[in-house]
Structure 1
Amino acid sequence: MTNKFVNPILPGFHPDANVIKVGSDYYLATSTFEWMPGVEIYHSQDLVNWKLVANPLQTEEKVSLIGNCNSGSMWAPHLRYDQGIFYLLITEVKTGTEFKDTLNYVTTAPTITGPWLEPIFVTASGFDPAFFHDDDGRHYIMSMLFDHRLDKPRFDGLVIQEFDVATVKLVGKREHFFYGTDLGVCEGPQMIKKGGWYYILCAAGGTGYSHAATVCRAKNVLGPYEVSSYHPFLTTKPAPDNPLQKKWSCCLYRGYSR
């Protein structure tokens, strides 16, 4: 990997970057919001030089954005790889009011360039969902639960539910497994397992100047989760002169080759 690079490595409109490593290859997926073709996927072997290799959502048959709100539609794609299959989890945001309609779909492909199957609806409980493929062969989908009732806080914790890859359906009971921290809203959960611990990295505190990243861990995938003593894990709120302010994009990557 080269030690010399110039930021930004992907200039222009590339929000919500999500990165995985498969063998010696890195793949990066970004949101496209109301723009088609939907979701951009890039390839790199050094994390610096990237080439566009796929747009999984090419036609209105795969995703119809007619009538969606500005800055809605395709938010925060989550790309993962497990046992020879690429998985892409997307949220289509239909409305931008307090009564958000957040439809979550899964599409899969045998190679990063496709063919990508027609997206299958899995849930509508929130946005910025994420996969987790455990080393015991079980699969999960996590997301922020959004409560649209006007007398309730919008953030109602993180939920997790087992995902059956054969039927492309959620199975079992949906569980509340983390309610965030004193920073409030916790979104975009990313999970890895290392040394027998499950770690979650979340964006927290909303998308204003209080935005931060938080980390917690547990011995069981369902918790209970303890917040890191380094809390918040990352923020610039106490450093108003820092050139990087407001929203962070929080991602962890993990390659699967079993």
Structure 2
Amino acid sequence: MANDKQDKTHFGYKTVESEKKEELVADVFHSVASKYDIMNDVMSFGVHRLWKRFTIESAAARPGMKILDIAGGTGDLSAKFSQIVGDSGQVILADINDSMLKVGRDKLRNQGFVSNIRYVQANAEALPFPDNQFDIITIAFGLRNVTDKDAALRSMLRVLKPGGKLLILEFSKPTNEMMRKAYDFYSFKVIPKMGSMIANDSGSYEYLSESIRMHPDQDTLKQMMDEAGFDQTDYINMTNGVVALHRGYKF
């Protein structure tokens, strides 16, 4: 029975074979990649830019640093980090989905980001980098789509340098009951309709709303980071807990 349980995972509210989830998530992001940026702005009323700005400020990156942006998608964080670390530093924009990676690469190259950004298709559960490589790792709105989150956290810890910092920006659990009810209505009644109108795809946005509800809450994710070996873990709620920024260090 234990093996059966380990072989199953959730894809939104559905229970699926663990080995199938990666493919199902890939289909979602292949579908939404071309409209990803526009949908982010519309769905969050632009507030996602403030959440990401706070994440960048919390990273406290400096010139010369090496930064890994996991699930970097269309490159919002990578673009800013590229400017901060300069020619003496490096940013790696990693994403498991080649459609998202191509959209991000084309967008950043068109904006003139060429010299210090690399693009790597990578699974967060088994990052293809040597140990102790990065000063900072970020993963923004990507961890909830990972099948084995514990393996991903261990993989991130492995490739961080001693003294390095992990930042996880992710949708979480609202701390206010009124906000929770309003958020549920918006997520399940409004967002899929937006997805249908703008991206011609309501199903993918239904999955995204469900995946948020299945993601570990703030304290559970902090505990998972502790168990993976991170030190001084904490989190900061934003927008009444709709989003949380988790932080942890490698010592």
Tell me the TM-score normalized by structure 1: 0.31
The structure with the greater share of residues assigned to strand is: 1
The structure with the greater share of residues assigned to helix is: 2
Structure number with the bigger relative contact order (C-alpha 8 A, sep ≥ 6) is 2
